[in-house]
Every structure is written in structure tokens, then in C-alpha cells.
Amino acid sequence: MTREDSTERENSTEGSESVHGEQIVLDGVTKRYPGTSSAAVDNVEMTIPAGEIVMLVGPSGCGKTTTMKMINRLIEPTEGRILIGDEDVTDKDPDELRRHVGYVIQGAGLFPHYTVGDNIALVPRLLKWDKKRVEDRVNEMLDLVSLDPDTYKNRYPRELSGGQQQRVGVARALAADPPVLLMDEPFGAVDPITRQRLQDELLRLQVELRKTIVFVTHDFDEAVKLGDRIAILDVGSEIVQYDTPEQILTNPASDFVRGFVGAGSALKQLNLTRVRDVKLDEAAYAHIGDDPSAALAKAEELGRSHIMILDDKHRPQRWVSIEDVNSGGIEKVSRDHELEVLSMTSTLNDALDTMLTSRHRVVVVTGAKNRYEGVVRTETIMDAMQAIQQGEVGASETTVEDIEEDAR
Ligand code: ADP
Ligand code: MG
């Protein structure tokens, strides 16, 4: 899911409370480490929009960590400027910058001799918040990352699983409510299932928080899943392509990018394409109690063995075979509680999954108020994949409102 639509809308109403992030601008940023011949980061120009997740992907040693550390001034640039909001970070006092930029690293980087609570309280205490406020904030942050405060705040990091430590790392980074969050391969050290959960949780948090997040990963799937935008970097943090996941998958800028996208790109694209982006197929259908002859003729025309029965509100009830219609009619058709239904925001990957487990090799799609909209068949997906590869179908952006609309 990308959040571009809503970000754009919110950016246009500057000052609205729903975007908490600030824009980051890298302006001709260069880092030369002493005693090295080439720059680790070479003249990077990049704008990271407020409230978006931007993923930095590139080979080891290309300068990702150096770039991140210049944003929070753990490393000073040799040349260039970095702006957060309207302010040059080099003009900010370091405490103020800490309040502005949260930092999460691989393995969470928690202090082993501090309790979970003390780790989270670190920046608030540096900022000299009073005791009560710090305590409340620690509880709030643990709740936010789905860890029970009473159970966990007095534990030490070694008493937590890797995934739990990573959650505490996120809680610590968010404690002072910074508009910017830097995440450097934060989920690199946890098992795949835990990683997937942490990713889902970050996306859930981001709907509420709308931070500006710069996220380094070497996992392209992670970049596609989390990123509003992806920057593919080469040596010296050279930006080879900086675009939405959809664009990078559909139009990789070079062989280098194609290498990252990998052979599974058409399959990956299925995760980005929504049912409403493709032309739905039709089925023969009739309403309960109708004369079925028109539907039977339609089924014959389409070469189908079943017709879809809808209720009086146009909601799908059950597939009934032509033989059963001929012998029993459609006066009394009950709802099939196992009928698989897709919504317009389901992905084509969801559709494929559903179809593979369905008895009918065809899945019904419903729109607003669960009304019948059409069907997805294997052919629908094949056609969509072909269109994707020819660049005809772009994945559309899905907003939170779409999902809520769908749920109604
Ligand atoms: P990435 O995070 O993409 O793997 P880094 O930013 O860590 O890359 O490193 C970029 C380049 O800078 C590499 O060639 C690395 O060897 C070099 N480098 C990183 N830190 C230092 C340092 N403190 N001193 C000298 N060279 C460094
Ligand atoms: Mg690194």
C-alpha cells in the first residue's frame, strides 16, 4: 500500500496536523573520509517529502549509512547542506537535533545495562522532561509498539527476543516525537516472520504518525512493501533511480536497477496492482426468484458451467451449475458461506491466492455495499500481467479512505 495520495493532499494544506514529518533536502552533500581517494558520498541531491517513507537500496559500501549519519550529524558532511524543514542541520544544536531525528539501527542498539524503560527514556531525559512526563511517555511508547508496559519496562534487553528488542528500538527512537525517523537496516537481524510483522506494524504506525522516514535496506521486497518512494543507489550514493515502487518495477532505469528488481518483477507487480486497476471479467448472473433463461443463455454464450446468484440487493450468494438451475430453478438459493469474495482494493496476488484455493477458478468481486461488480478469472490475471509488462497498467495508489470505503 502506498500513501502518496493522502500525503499530497495533506501537503497541500500546510500546517494540517495530519502530517507530522518534515521535508529533508540533501543539497550537494559530499563526504570524504580522511585518507581515502574517492568520496564515500559524492555530491548527492535529494528531496525527501514530508510524511513519506523513502527507502535507500544499494550495494554494501555504497554510502547508505554515511548518508544517514550525516542527516543526524553523527558524521559531518565535507561539502553541501542538509535541511530538515527550513533549517540547516549544521545550525541546529545537537540536543535540538536529537529531538528532531529518531534513529533505529540493526540489532536495535539498546544499552544492555539499562532497562527497557530507561532505554526509551533516554532522549526525554536528555531533554530534561520532568519525571512524570517521562514515565507516561515510556508507557505510551511501549503500548504503541504492542509491548505491555508493566511486563516489559523493567526488563533488560537480553531478556527480550530479537523482535521485541527491535520494537523497543523503535519506541526509543519515537520517544521525543521527532518528525524524522532514520532506520538503518533495522529489521536485518530478525527472522523472516518477525520481520514481516515488524514491517506491518511500521506501516500501521505510519498511518497515524506520518513521520518522514528514511529507511535503508538491502532487501528489495522490503523496499517495495514499505516505500512510498525508493532510491536505488550506486557507489558514492549516486542516485540511479528515485521513484515510486510501481515506476521502478515497471520502468527500471538501467540494467543496474533491473538487477535489483530481479526476475520476479512481474510477480512482485501483482502485489502492487489492485483488482480495480484491471478490467474485470463478466459472469452470467441472475437474482433469486428471477426467470433464469436470460442468464442461461448468457452462460452458454460465455461458455461457462455456472451462474452467479445475487440477492435483491445485488449481493453475490452462490454459484449454481447450469444442470442444477435446469432441474431445481433459482427460487430458493441460500447464501454459500464459503463463497470467496474480493474487493476492489484486493491485490492481484490476493486474487491469485484465492483462485488457487477456490473450487471455481473464478472469484467474485464486490464493490460498495458488497454489490456484485464482476469476476476475476485466471485469464484476467494473465492479461493483466501482459499489460503490466507492456507498461499499460499502472498500479493505483490506495488510501486509507479506500480501505474504509471497502469495509463499509
Ligand atoms: P553502506 O552503509 O552503504 O554499506 P557506508 O556508508 O558504511 O556504506 O560506507 C561507504 C564507504 O565509506 C565505504 O567504502 C566504507 O568503506 C567507507 N567508510 C565508512 N566509514 C568510514 C570511516 N569511518 N573511515 C573511512 N572510510 C569509511
Ligand atoms: Mg550501512
59: confidence class by pLDDT, cuts 50, 70, 90 = confident
The CA 238 to ligand 1 mean position distance, Å, reads 14
Q: Mind listing the pLDDT tens digit for each residue in 117-142? A: 999 998 889 888 999 999 999 999 89
Determine the pLDDT at residue 309: 96
What pairing do the DSSP bridges indicate for beta strands 24-31 and 79-84? antiparallel
Q: Mind listing the pLDDT tens digit for each residue in 253-297? A: 988 888 878 756 666 777 778 788 888 999 999 999 999 999 999
Beta-ladder partners of 242: 231
Beta-ladder partners of 87: 84
> What is the pLDDT averaged over residues 367-390?
83
Is 90 exceeded by the pLDDT of residue 306?
yes
Is 50 exceeded by the pLDDT of residue 404?
no
Residue nearest to atom 25 of ligand 1 (CA): 33
Is 50 exceeded by the pLDDT of residue 15?
no
Pocket test for ligand 1, best of 26, 32, 36 (most atoms within 8 A of CB): 36
Is 90 exceeded by the pLDDT of residue 29?
yes
Q: Mind listing the pLDDT tens digit for each residue in 167-205? A: 899 899 888 888 999 999 988 877 776 777 788 778 878
Pocket test for ligand 1, best of 41, 44, 65 (most atoms within 8 A of CB): 65
Task: Give the range among 9-13, 290-294, 306-310, 379-383 with minimum mean pLDDT.
Answer: 9-13
Atom of ligand 1 at shortest range from CA of 68: 6
Atom of ligand 1 at shortest range from CA of 64: 3
Determine the pLDDT at residue 14: 39
> What is the pLDDT averaged over residues 226-250?
91
Determine the pLDDT at residue 198: 80
Residue nearest to atom 13 of ligand 1 (CA): 61
Is 70 exceeded by the pLDDT of residue 405?
no
The CA 65 to ligand 1 mean position distance, Å, reads 7
Higher pLDDT, 16 or 235: 235
Higher pLDDT, 371 or 106: 371
Q: Please, is 272 exposed, middle or buried when counting C-beta atoms within 10 Å of its C-beta (0-12, 13-18, 19+)?
A: buried
- Annotate the chain with three-state secondary structure: CCCHHHHHHHHHCCCCCCCCCCCEEEEEEEECCCCCCCCCEEEEEEEECCCCEEEEECCCCCCHHHHHHHHCCCCCCCEEEEEECCEEHHHCCHHHHHHHEEEEECCCCCCCCCCHHHHHHHHHHHCCCCHHHHHHHHHHHHHHCCCCHHHHCCCCHHHCCHHHHHHHHHHHHHCCCCCEEEEECCCCCCCHHHHHHHHHHHHHHHHHHCCEEEEEECCHHHHHHHCCEEEEEEHHHEEEEEECHHHHHHCCCCHHHHHHHCCCHHHHHHHHCEHHHCCCECCCEEECCCCCHHHHHHHHHHCCCEEEEECCCCCEEEEEEHHHHHHHCCCCCCCCCCCCEEECCCEHHHHHHHHHHCCCCEEEEECHHHCEEEEEEHHHHHHHHHHHHCCCCCCCCCCHHHHHHHHC
Q: Mind listing the pLDDT tens digit for each residue in 206-222? A: 888 899 999 999 888 78
d(Cα 247, Cα 227) in Å, to the nearest integer?
A: 12
Mean pLDDT of the chain: 84
Higher pLDDT, 200 or 329: 329
Q: Mind listing the pLDDT tens digit for each residue in 142-162? A: 988 878 899 999 999 999 988
Residue nearest to atom 27 of ligand 1 (CA): 33
Higher pLDDT, 285 or 237: 285
pTM: 0.66
> What is the pLDDT averaged over residues 13-17?
41
The CA 216 to ligand 1 mean position distance, Å, reads 14
Is 70 exceeded by the pLDDT of residue 380?
yes
Determine the pLDDT at residue 263: 57
